[in-house]
Amino acid sequence: MNIRFLATTIIALSITATQATAEEVELNPIPSSVQMLNIAPEARGTGMGDAGVASTPDVNSQHWNPAKYSFMESKAAASLSITPWLRKLVNDINLFYAAGYYKINKRNTVSASIKYFSLGDLIFFNDEGDENGTYKPNEFSIDAAYALKMSDVTSGAIALRYIHSDMGYQQIDDAATAGNAFAADIAFYFKKDLNIQGNNAQVMAGLNISNIGTKITYDDGVTNEYLPANLKIGGGFWYDMDSYNKIGATVDFNKLLVPTPDYRSKTSEDDLYQAKLDYYDKSVVGSLFSSFGDAPRGGKEELEEIDIMGGIEYTYNNMFSARFGYHHNHENKGNLKYASAGIGIKYQMINVDASYIFTVGQANSNSALANTIRITLGFDLGRFVK
């Protein structure tokens, strides 16, 4: 059995909500491994449609844009998040996330996070259909970042990440291995204070190029798959209506920096198999640049590869927040379309956030992502850190 193809299949199924039939669309999703790296792990951003690269900074900025930490007011904070994943299919897949930062001084900030994806119990069967063992596949990443405030309105950051993916394929093939990889993020953030008719306001912009790194292998280097390198760019606006009521909006544009496959001319099984092997031969650097112009159907398909997500957030008295958002992914690239809502409650040094996903459209009515809940608990540690 080809371990690489099996890995790609299982990982894709674990995060894809639904796909329209090939008769209805020109389906051509972009394959990559360890897609859990791009799953939004915390509740505030997901409550706004998975938008966060240019929103106001918070303790979970590590995932969206670590450069935002430079504009945090508190000296230190930490958070814990949990997401029960694909509950419409199974009941033992969970995504855990922890993040935190520490401001060394006004210009320098360090941060870190860990993401752990437990895929529950995976039962293997032999060719005769008998059980051949149970495995607990999992993936995790650990990263650390440094953010520099370059001026009163701009900051930049770099993050380094270690990735481990153990999907349990050793149960199928003795030659299979767990995958390991290294990656980096480069991020920038802009935040400028405004005064509109006597009220405070802020305009923001952000950019994060994430998961630029080595390829990952599950068969000791025989085949090598791309990490989900990703480009996020977005803008945001925040307005104080009065001393109690505040409202903000943010929008992100997202594109995978991974080559687009072209298997249209492959008619035989052997040709298709060879084309899939050849797909992974391109270098990481080459794939990053070619991803902007390699779609088989040209510019139209390149635009289809851009996901759009955005949301609004209302806050009362810096204590209660309500959020709404929408996430759009083209039907040819996976058809992930959903709305989201969320709330946040802050009491002294503790924040509690929660979000909920609503599927959109008939094609998504049976989506495995429907009714997904995320919960995040945050702690402002500034008063304890000198």
Predicted confidence at residue 85, as pLDDT, reads 86
pTM of the model as a whole:
0.88
The pLDDT value recorded for residue 366 is 60
Q: What is the CATH number of the domain that holds 174?
A: 2.40.160.40
The Cα 320–Cα 313 span in angstroms is 10
d(CA 35, CA 9): 11
Q: What is the pLDDT of residue 61?
A: 97
Q: How far is CA 237 from CA 52, 142, 194, 205, in A?
A: 12, 31, 10, 9
Query: If you write DSSP's letter for every residue of 117-185 in order, what string do you get?
Result: EE---EEEE-TTS-EEEEE--EEEEEEEEEEEE-SSSEEEEEEEEEEEEE--GGGT-TT---EEEEEEE
Q: What is the pLDDT of residue 386?
A: 61
Distant-in-sequence, close-in-space partners of 66: CB < 8 Å, separation ≥ 6: 111, 145, 147, 157, 159, 185, 187, 208
Chain centre distance of CA 73: 25
What are the per-10-residue average pLDDT scores of the chain (386 residues)?
Answer: 42 44 64 91 96 97 98 96 85 93 97 94 74 83 98 98 85 74 98 94 98 91 90 97 96 95 75 78 87 90 95 96 96 90 95 91 64 94 79
Contacts of 22 (CB under 8 A, 6+ apart): none
How much is the pLDDT for 136?
85
pLDDT at residue 282, rounded to an integer: 84
pLDDT at 186: 98
Range of the domain at 140: 3-384
Q: How far is it, in rounded angstroms, from Cα 297 to Cα 300?
A: 6
d(CA 292, CA 222): 27
Total number of domains in the chain: 1
pLDDT at residue 367, as a whole number: 67
